[in-house]
Amino acid sequence: MAEDSTETSITAAEPTPTATASIDPELAGKLQEPSFEIIHTINSAAPPVGLQPGQSPYQAYQAYQAPASPQSSVASDEEITIDDTFDEDGDSAYDSGSLQSDTTSLLSHITKYRYENNRRYHAYKDGEYWGPNDEQQSNQLDIAHHLFLLTMGGRLFLAPIGDNPQNVLDIGTGTGIWALDFADQYPSARVTGFDLSPIQPQWVAPNLRFEINDACDPDWGYSKQSFDFIHVRAMYGSVAHWPAFYQQVLDNLAPGGWYQQLEMSVVLKSDDGSVREGSIFDQWGKVSLEAGDKFGKDLRIHEQIKGYVTDAGFVDVVETVYRYPVGPWAKDPFIKSVGEWNRIHWQEGIEGWSMALLTRVLNWSYTEVQAYLGKMRGALKDNSIHAYHIV
């Protein structure tokens, strides 16, 4: 599922209806329309760590970026140049006393997973999320982590959080790979990651803690204003009421804290018309959006974040959009590498992204889903289709 990618940086002040969002002019010229992934960094009212008097959040964000990004970038507003020589036929700080009991204990029923259509799904809050939690989907999540690092020049985040973050929260942590890397990079920080599934490693650094929790719960159980940095990635289709979610984020951020979110679009497109109306890639986006709507947790958050966070009271929003090619059809070596990894990402992910939504929500049979996925796999190998999505 994919489309362009968007990245948004937001400073959060005390909740106020007059909060405004601004995009640095230097960035504006590079933006693509929102797609597969959106990163929003949000900072609250007190001057954020690293923000100098008179300095915009985007200037601080730019100053913090290191190492330098590759010269080639998927964030360019120019069309991705197709490699004409490519063989199109070939495939190449929480308060521990306040935590709720269900966030601190892995009870036996939490690991009594649902097995359905040859995939494994979470048991805690059974049915609230459509993604599997088995090894195949874990592989997809870790491949996605590599893709995002590749896009951001090896960085785990873009928000200017300073050199000494103290309390960090990773919502929807999945395999925990982002939290693991962050805890290693900042050994003095206390890092908490939570998810519906206990699929994270048991043995981790002493400054890292994994918990079972639900992002849709009305109270996550942490002391208010306790986190310097809250990170969210690939939560599309996971939250029924995003305004309430963003209010919780704001409530849990300390003054001067930052929020960053990265999301992907489920719509595939092309600039040369190779993603044709009615084709399997075209169907993918339409079917996925329909299923998400009927499930009650739509898949369009990548294009809604900016409005939601602004309404919640966050200010100074910086949004960056990336185009992720699907397959190594681009001429530029860096973008070609992104496309190759993204194709692997899709090959690993499409069954998990669709199986539960199509069978539980749209009432497709297992056989119908597999036939549909067979067409998708064939299209993913077709390098004459110059598809991309936003991240």
CB 5 within 8 A of CB 35: yes
- Rounded to an integer, the average pLDDT of 163-187 is 98
Give 124's DSSP letter.
Answer: T
Q: Is the pLDDT of residue 365 over 80?
A: yes
Average pLDDT, the chain: 81
The mean pLDDT value for 233-254 works out to 96
Grade residue 206 by pLDDT with cuts at 50, 70 and 90.
Answer: very high
User: Has residue 269 got a pLDDT over 90?
Assistant: yes
Mean pLDDT, to the nearest integer, of 65-82?
Answer: 57
Full DSSP string of 323-388:
EEESSS-BSSHHHHHHHHHHHHHHHHHHHHHHHHIIIIIS---HHHHHHHHHHHHHHHT-TT---E
The domain limits of the chain are 5-78+93-390
* Residue written as token pair 């796999």: 377
Q: Is the pLDDT of residue 287 over 70?
A: yes
pLDDT beyond 50 at 236: yes
Span 152-179, average pLDDT: 96
Q: What confidence score (pLDDT) does residue 88 get?
A: 58
Helix (H) / strand (E) element for 315: namely strand 314-320
Q: What is the pLDDT of residue 170?
A: 99
Can you give the pLDDT at residue 252?
Answer: 97
Average pLDDT over residues 102-128: 84
Do residues 361 and 294 make contact, with C-beta atoms less than 8 angstroms apart?
A: yes
- Whole-number percent of the chain with pLDDT over 70: 74
Tell me how far apart the alpha carbons of residues 68 and 61 are, in angstroms, rounded to a whole number: 13
Q: What percent of the chain has pLDDT over 90?
A: 68
Q: Name which of 31-45, 125-139, 155-169, 261-275 the model is least confident about.
A: 31-45
Judge whether residue 137 has pLDDT over 60.
yes
Mean pLDDT, to the nearest integer, of 216-231? 96
pLDDT at residue 35 is higher than 90: no
For residue 356, is pLDDT > 80?
yes
Band of pLDDT at residue 107, cut at 50, 70 and 90: low
Q: How far apart are CA 252 and CA 250, in angstroms?
A: 5
Lowest-confidence pick of 87-96, 160-169, 248-257, 329-338: 87-96
**CA 303 to chain centroid:** 13
pLDDT band at 69 (very low <50, low <70, confident <90, very high): very low
pLDDT-derived band at 387, boundaries 50, 70, 90: very high
**Mean local confidence (pLDDT), 349-368:** 99
DSSP 8-class letter at 245: H
